[in-house]
């Protein structure tokens, strides 16, 4: 399944790497792609292994805010 999350506060390549890395570290996430200009991250994941709440937490642990 694929989902796009809105993430506040990503400004540069480091932010992109931090968010993508945190998501890819989760078991069940296969791809994570940040669009810095749009402030979004598209995630492809196995919904039987990981949920949106876990992905939000992983992003928030990196210091960014997630909405919806």
Residues that bind Cu ion (CB under 5 A): 11-12, 14-15
Nearer to Cu ion, 14 or 67 (CB): 14
Q: What is the nearest approach in angstroms of Cu ion to the Cβ of residue 28?
A: 26
User: Residues, the chain, total?
Assistant: 68
Q: Crossing angle, helix 13-24 and helix 52-61, to 10 degrees?
A: 140
Alpha carbons 10 and 38: distance in angstroms, whole number: 10
Nearer to Cu ion, 36 or 52 (CB): 36
State both tokens at 43. 């995630």
Nearer to Cu ion, 42 or 62 (CB): 62
């Amino acid at each position: 399944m694929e989902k796009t999350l809105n993430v506040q506060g990503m400004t540069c390549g480091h932010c992109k790497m931090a968010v993508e890395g945190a998501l890819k570290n989760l078991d069940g996430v296969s791809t994570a792609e940040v669009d810095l200009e749009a402030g979004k991250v598209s995630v492809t994941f196995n919904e039987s292994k990981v949920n949106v709440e876990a992905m939000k937490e992983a992003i928030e642990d990196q210091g960014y805010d997630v909405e919806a």
